[in-house]
Chains A and B, each alone.
Chain A
Amino acid sequence: MNFPIYMDYHATTPMDPRVLEAMMPFLTNKFGNAASRNHAFGWEAEEAVELARKQIADLIGATPKEIVFTSGATESNNLAIKGVAEMYAERGNHIITAATEHKATLDTCKRLEKHGCRITYLPVLASGLIDLDMLKEAITDKTILISIMYANNEIGVVQQVREIGKIAKERGVLFHTDAVQAVGKIPVNVIADNVDLLSLSGHKLYGPKGVGALYVRRKSPRVQLTAQMDGGGHERGMRSGTLNVPGIVGLGKACELCRQEMDSEAKRLGALRDKLRAKLEAELDETYVNGSMESRLPHNLNISFAYVEGESLLMGINDVAVSSGSACTSATLEPSYVLKALGAGDDLAHSSIRFGLGRFTTEEEVDYVAAKVIDVVKKLRELSPLYEMFKEGVDLSKVQWTAH
């Protein structure tokens, strides 16, 4: 085993060596600008870009012309949401999203609010799923866009995207999904899912950082966007800027590999994740999985170890790279807003750990991590006044705490 063990695949993924291999020529001798129409350097680059466009489209059931390259999913989300808000401003100004979205979506919406848009932030159920009836009720004749993520980056909960897409289509509202965590991990199909706009990112699926894409539907309906960056009119006028050819080649290759290996990978990781969970729950009482276990990415486990604070747990397992929803690990001093939205209580949010398994995770690593976490949680519970009180039968919700 190599240390530290990486189990934070929702944050980023290492690049697959086959992706790097595909990119290398475009970082060296094949350096042409894909927009150069007059010589072989440009043609070569353009050809590589078009191949990548097809590889990405094939993974999500789109056509190559519907793929717009960006710098990553943050830009894709910005372009989709702001681009729609601006383009369809005459039709309406209402956008529906959810409380558990990524900041790239939430903060984009907040900015639009300042410019006269009305935003509905749907709450989520304890499972992490949005309530479809609530979504239906939120739609008005001013609604132009629904933006709901495919799978959540913290709790891995997969939304009922197909149903959301159906509702959007029936009501004539565009549907954008931030599918960064889902694409390449579980089957995603923009036709079957009724998706109009979809964001994806290279570095979450074993491709390079700094490159992503936005799927923009071209047929029924033909979605139009107002460009958010002015310049040479690249990418059908939707995203100006010289194309990041090596990055795009890598993203394409990464998508191709995911398409070929996704099924077996999901099965393998699902089994490892379930093993991890079973081991933890067998040895530790008072552990709670955050969000639905049924509608969840196969490689995600977000679990709270009650009466143990997340950062202190991370400190104890410092040869394992995972992340926590605890405030102490972040600069904001606020625990994870995603976990808070589930209504589990701030105390459980402070006690949460996110395990993200991936392509290079081994069973040996899972066994090691499980044993280490069990050991440290037990040690910290020996130190925890809350665990002591719990064992004495004290109802912690009735205690008068001296919040500071």
Chain B
Amino acid sequence: MAYSNKVLDHYNHPRNVGSMDKSDPNVGTGMVGAPECGDVMKLQVKVNPETGIIEDAKFKTFGCGSAIASSSLATEMLKGKTVDEALAIKNTEIVNELALPPVKIHCSVLAEDAIKAAISDYKKKTGAEVPAATASH
């Protein structure tokens, strides 16, 4: 299978690899997928409680190159967004940005699920009281 240059770039130079403290009240952790399905993504966001803006995002992914690229790209997209803006990210944006072929679309879906799971975890920690999205534009 031929990979797009963007997938190769993220695979060779993954952005924001790592882990943050799961018990930090400002960190939301999402883990989606299953080993027997061949992909597991762990995505974490660190939210500034004052502004509701995602200040940091980290990932670790077990999966094919497209899954790694999808989650790497997701962390880039998340940084600087508000929690609600993050929830609005669609997998199709990842598909377009990485030029994923049809058999790899599930990787982008998984990345979207990981984003939602991480935000949901953060919201749970803060008692579902998420600061209203501060319009940035």
Where the two chains meet, the residues of A that have a C-beta atom closer than 8 Å to any C-beta of B are 307-309, 311-312, 315-316, 326-329, 331, 333, 335, 345-347, 350, 382-388, 396, 401-404
- Knowing A333-B103, A404-B32 are in contact, say whether A383-B64 is a contact too (CB < 8 A): no
Q: Give 3 closest A-B pairs by Cβ, nearest first.
A: A401-B34, A346-B36, A347-B35
B80 sits at the interface (CB 8 A): no
**Is A385 within 8 A of B61, CB to CB?**
yes
CB contacts (< 8 Å) of B106 on chain A: these are 404
- Inter-chain contacts of A311 with B (CB < 8 A): 64-65
- Most chain A CB within 10 A, of B11, B39, B64, is at B64
> Would you call A326 and B38 a contact (CB within 8 A)?
yes
Q: Are A312 and B60 in contact (CB under 8 A)?
A: no
Q: Decide if B35 touches A312 in the complex (CB within 8 Å).
A: no
Out of B17, B33, B36, B117, name the residue touching A382 (CB < 8 Å).
Answer: B17
Report Cα–Cα, A329/B113, bound state, in Å: 23
Contact status B61-A384, CB under 8 Å: yes
Whether A308 and B62, one on each chain, are in contact in the complex, defined by CB atoms closer than 8 angstroms, is yes
Instruction: Return chain B residues, CB-CB under 8 Å to A388.
Output: 19, 42, 60
A312 touches B63 (CB 8 A): yes
**Of the residues A327, A333, A384, A404, contact of B60 by C-beta under 8 Å:** A384
Q: A311-B65, A383-B14 are in contact. Are A345 and B3 (CB under 8 A)?
A: no
Nearest residue, chain A, Cβ from B32: A402
Q: Interface size on B (CB < 8 Å)?
A: 34
Q: List 21 A-B contacts (CB under 8 A).
A: A309-B38, A315-B11, A316-B11, A326-B38, A326-B64, A328-B64, A328-B66, A335-B38, A346-B37, A346-B38, A347-B36, A350-B38, A382-B17, A388-B42, A401-B33, A401-B34, A401-B40, A402-B34, A404-B32, A404-B34, A404-B110
Q: Flag B88-117 by CB within 8 Å of A: 1 or 0 each.
A: 000000000000000100100110010001
B83 interface residue, CB < 8 Å from A? no
B residues in contact with A386, CB < 8 Å:
35, 40, 62
Is B54 in the interface zone, CB < 8 Å from A?
A: no
Residue on B nearest A396 in the bound complex, by CB: B35
Interfacial chain B residues near A350, Cβ < 8 Å: 35-36, 38
Question: Which residues of chain B come closer than 8 Å to A345, judged between CB atoms?
Answer: 36
CB distance from A15 to the nearest CB of B (A): 27
Query: In the bound complex, what is the Cα–Cα distance between A56 and B21 (angstroms)?
Result: 66
Q: B78 within 8 Å of A by Cβ?
A: no
Q: In the complex, are the beta carbons of B35 and A401 less than 8 A apart? A: yes
Give CA–CA (A331, B11) in the complex, Å: 21
Closest to B38 in A: A350
Residues of B within 8 Å of A382, CB to CB, are 17
Inter-chain CA distance A136–B8, complex, in Å, is 52
Residue in A closest to B61 when the chains form the complex, CB atoms: A383
Task: Report if B47 contacts A (CB, 8 A).
Answer: no
A332 CA / B125 CA spacing, docked (Å): 40
B53 at interface (Cβ–Cβ under 8 A)? no
Contact code string B10-21 (vs A, CB < 8 Å = 1, else 0): 010010010100
**In the assembly, what is the distance between CA of A384 and CA of B117, in Å?**
18
List of A residues within 8 angstroms of B27 by Cβ: none
B119 close to chain A: CB less than 8 A = no
In the complex, chain B residues whose CB is within 8 Å of the CB of A327:
38
B35, A346: Cβ atoms closer than 8 Å: yes
Question: Is B68 part of the binding interface, using a Cβ–Cβ cutoff of 8 Å?
Answer: yes
Which of B37, B41, B42, B62 is the most central at the interface, judged by chain A CB atoms within 10 Å of its CB? B62
Residues from chain A with Cβ under 8 Å of B11 in the complex: 312, 315-316
Q: Is the CB of A307 within 8 A of B62?
A: yes
Contact A315 B19 (CB under 8 A): no
Known A312-B67, A326-B64, A388-B42; 6 more pairs at CB < 8 Å: A315-B64, A329-B1, A382-B17, A388-B19, A401-B34, A401-B36
Residue of B nearest to A340 (CB): B36
Question: Please, how many angstroms separate the alpha-carbon atoms of A381 and B33 in the complex?
Answer: 17
Q: Given the known A-B contacts A311-B65, A326-B64, A388-B60, are A402 and B38 also in contact in the complex, defined by CB atoms under 8 Å?
A: no
| CB closest chain-A residue, reference B109 | A404
Contact A309 B63 (CB under 8 A): yes
Residues of A near B61 (CB, < 8 A) are: 383-385
